[in-house]
């Protein structure tokens, strides 16, 4: 899974502009970054990878079902001739 980016400098600057002290802003930034990393969020790249894999499986299943249909027709034709 790709890493989720988090701009700590912008986060700290926003808190500082809101009146937080440097230590408080840095502590909150670290805590927030750790929480985001532990959430296990999927990135757009992860979702694209899953979509690609699902598309490949769809085509494989379509090919398999097509083969089963052809074999079924052959089997029925053979049974009719018997």
**pLDDT in the model for residue 29:** 92
Helix (H), strand (E) at residue 18:
none
Sequential pLDDT tens for the chain (82 residues): 556 677 888 989 999 999 999 999 999 999 988 888 888 778 899 999 999 999 999 999 999 999 999 999 999 999 998 7
Q: Give how far Cα 44 sits from Cα of 5, 32, 35, 53, 59, Å.
A: 12, 21, 19, 14, 23
Strands (E), 1-82: none
CB 16 within 8 A of CB 22: yes
pLDDT of the residue at 20: 93
What's residue 19's pLDDT?
94
Domain ranges of the chain: 1-41, 42-82
Mean pLDDT for the chain overall: 90
């Amino acid at each position: 899974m790709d890493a989720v980016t988090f701009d700590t400098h912008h986060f700290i600057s926003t808190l500082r502009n809101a009146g937080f002290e440097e230590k408080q802003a840095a502590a909150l930034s670290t805590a927030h970054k750790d929480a985001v990393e532990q959430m296990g969020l999927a990135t757009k790249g992860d979702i694209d990878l899953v979509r690609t894999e699902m598309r490949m499986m769809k085509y494989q299943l379509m090919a398999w079902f097509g083969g089963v249909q052809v074999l079924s027709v052959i089997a029925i034709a053979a049974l009719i001739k018997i």
